[in-house]
Amino acid sequence: MVSITVSAAAKAPSFARDLPISVEVEEGSTIGELKQKINRKFPKFSTSRQKISLKGDRKPLDDAAKIETVFGGKLEGAELQVKDMGPQISWKTVFLIEYVGPLIVHPIFYYFPKAIYGRDFQHSALQKYVFAFVMLHFLKRELETLFVHRFSHGTMPFLNVFKNSFHYHVLSGLLLAAHVYSPKYAAGAPAIVGTYRENATFLKVATAVWAFAEVSNFHTHLTLRNLRPAGTKKRAIPVGYGFNLVSFPNYFFEIVGWAVISVMTNSIASHFFVVVATVTMAAWALKKHKNYKKEFGKEYPRSRKAIFPFIL
């Protein structure tokens, strides 16, 4: 057994006032096992709330890391610090909360126009198509969250759920629904009659492109799932459909799907959402692409872009 000193990274939380403490660990123990011992000492200090790092360092240590490896085998006088990350919520739960917003908001605007816009009207074919696209998209996202996605991080701070949900509940929910299902795009409205928005061929082509994007997005999610065995954080270089051109084809196909709706409606709300979504996903892709190249070095395909083939 080896004694490790664990101190508070900042002010000790109210349920762990006794910090610093000395924790006895066995040789070969991991950071994750140390967290469990801290949790047994302070029952309210759950392992998901703990961020363990070296003294004076902000970088969190991985749960799978062996303590003796962290200190280069020299455990005498070893000290680690723990920080309370606050109440946590699982990533899966966050995703489910995010995606359920549009599934609630869009039907309200679509089925209750009199309560929202002050009068009843007949929906145009365009509105019917967009409603179907949005509902199917977010239903797909919910099912993927439940049965496909494997998360490298178990939890996130609870308060983040409100920030993360804004994008979906407000931008692709309230903003998009309020504009697209309004009388402006109703059957017989000037914005519809005599325009491409009521052209049957255009709507069928748009449906084909949208379906292609959604199926392709789903395919890339399956590829990513198969790279990571259940219960592990294993990372590998993704290859195959979409991945030979960009690191994150799932983001690319997501953008294509929303761009179809933007072109179909030509509404300010849909354009705004597509721009915000594109900028956000491009930022994610560039950051993760950089991490891929750093992690895999020369093994990572040099010609592969981050999100847009041959461009970015």
User: Residue 65: pLDDT above 80?
Assistant: yes
Backbone CA torsion sign across 94, 95, 96, 99: positive
Which SS3 state, helix, strand or coil, does residue 181 take? coil
Q: What value does the mean pLDDT take over residues 254-273?
A: 98
User: Residue 293: pLDDT above 80?
Assistant: yes
Q: What value does the mean pLDDT take over residues 229-253?
A: 89
User: Residue 3: pLDDT above 80?
Assistant: yes
- Give the C-alpha distances (Å, rounded to integers) separating 190 from 19, 122, 124, 195: 69, 14, 12, 9
Backbone CA torsion sign across 110, 111, 115, 118: positive
From CA 307, how far away is CA 245, in angstroms rounded? 8
Q: What value does the mean pLDDT take over residues 276-286?
A: 97
From CA 82, how far away is CA 80, in angstroms rounded? 7
User: 267: how many CB neighbours lie within 10 A of its CB?
Assistant: 20
pLDDT at residue 217, as a whole number = 98
pTM surpassing 0.85? yes
How confident is the model over 149-168, as pLDDT tens digits? 988 777 888 988 998 899 99
The CATH-assigned architecture of domain 2-86 is: Roll (3.10)
From CA 128, how far away is CA 138, in angstroms rounded? 16
How confident is the model over 123-145, as pLDDT tens digits? 999 999 999 999 999 999 999 99
User: Residue 233: pLDDT above 90?
Assistant: no
Q: What value does the mean pLDDT take over residues 264-274?
A: 97
Contact 261, 134 (CB under 8 A): yes
pLDDT at residue 229, as a whole number = 74
Bridge-partner residues for 2, per DSSP? Answer: 25
Contact 169, 105 (CB under 8 A): yes
Ranges of CATH 3.10.20.90 domains, the chain: 2-86
User: Residue 224: pLDDT above 90?
Assistant: yes
User: Residue 88: pLDDT above 80?
Assistant: yes
The larger pLDDT score, comparing residue 154 to residue 61, is at: 61
pLDDT at residue 163, as a whole number = 87
pLDDT at residue 231, as a whole number = 66
- Give the C-alpha distances (Å, rounded to integers) separating 173 from 98, 198, 258, 261, 270: 10, 24, 13, 14, 11
Q: What value does the mean pLDDT take over residues 42-57?
A: 92
User: 158: how many CB neighbours lie within 10 A of its CB?
Assistant: 14
Q: Which of 72-81, 207-216, 257-266 has the lowest mean pLDDT?
A: 72-81
pLDDT at residue 26, as a whole number = 86
Strands 79-84 and 2-8: parallel
From CA 158, how far away is CA 142, in angstroms rounded? 19
